[in-house]
Amino acid sequence: MTGYSEALIDHFEHPRNAGAMDDPDAEAFVTNPVCGDSMRIFLRIEDERVAAASFLTSGCPASIGTSSAATELVTGRTLDEAVALTREDYADAVGGLPKSKIHCSVLAAAAVREAVETWRKEHADAAAGAAS
């Protein structure tokens, strides 16, 4: 796999936190319309912090490796910290990405943001319903 860092190859060959999570608190599914890669992320949230994360990704080695690294990167972070992570943070977590594969880090960042935003909306709606 020419052009990939040792860290990315390791995450691709030995993905961390791969698979669907039973009863997640939040999840999101994102697809890159250009290349067709897709990622589903699952989050367990406790006290406004990501307690656990897992993923299912279909795509190239860079997408799978970046998804694996993303689960490690967000676990233990507050929700604000998790949504503040950038595509560069995800790319750095796998030792960088070739220019043609930067979209893989965008996929991970978008999935994390969407999962957290959906969780926050659901909890805000629930709190508003309980208050009325």
Work out the widest C-alpha separation in the chain, in whole angstroms: 58
Known catalytic residue: 60? no
Q: How far apart are CA 9 and CA 27, in angstroms?
A: 26
- H helix intervals, the chain: 6-13, 61-74, 79-84, 87-93, 102-131
CA 78 to chain centre: 14
What are phi and psi for residue 70, nearest 5 degrees? -60, -40
- 7, 35, 52, 106: which one is catalytic? 35
| Set 104, 107, 109, 116: catalytic member | 104
Q: Alpha-carbon distance 102 to 80, whole Å? A: 23
Residues designated as active site = 35, 104
